[in-house]
Homo-oligomer: A and B are copies of this chain.
Amino acid sequence: MGMQKKKLAKVKYTAYIGASIDGRISKDSLSSVDWTSKEDWNFFQKSLSKIDAVIVGHNTFKVSENRLKWRNTIVLTSKISHLKVEGTVTFFNPKKSNLKRFLQNKGYKKVAILGGGKVYDFCLRNKMTDKLFVTIEPYVFTTGVPMFSGNKFKKYGFILESVKRLNKKGTVLLKYKYGN
């Protein structure tokens, strides 16, 4: 009576965000993402070593392509209809195909969400943010790209799991899990 489906493990999603005190992730959407501290960079690289795949937006991909192209990378974009694979990189339109099913079928267990603001917002809205790491660098930008570029106000609840000071000048790493 038809094929028996293999039970697939649930994918765990973790968003990594580096931000200023005032919640900005960069000057503009095509700015380089490497303004954060070396301590945060070290934490981030160590975390990624345990990750099966990463999700990024098209602009974030452009400014990080050299570092991402050897990872399993899903680039979210509205500019294509069918998914397009280039080596380890998959260009994916989440309005045309089911992203969660795609990731599950791939067998990924741990997926990292690396931004920018639209991608963090998309994943949060679609229940794809189990954990949230926010690194707060000790600057105020007063303008720039916000962490989450949403267009509908909602109060998503998180629970703080830990706070860690990463260096002398005061970079702070906050670890949250989703939930009220």
Contact = CB atoms under 8 A, between A and B. Distances in A.
A51 interface: no
A163 interface: yes
Central interface residue in A21, A140, A151, A171, by most chain B CB within 10 Å: A140
Interface string A144-173: 101111111111111111010100011110
B153 A142 contact: yes
B159 A141 contact: no
A151 B142 CA distance: 7
A145 to B, nearest CB: 10
Copies in the complex: 2
Interface string A118-140: 00010011000000101010111
Interface residues of A, number: 44
11 contacts: A20-B23, A22-B146, A23-B23, A23-B24, A136-B174, A138-B159, A139-B158, A141-B155, A143-B148, A143-B153, A170-B176
Contacts of A56: none
A112 interface: no
A27 interface: yes
Contacts of A153: 27, 141-144
Contacts of A19: 23
Given A24-B23, A176-B170, A140 B148 contact: yes
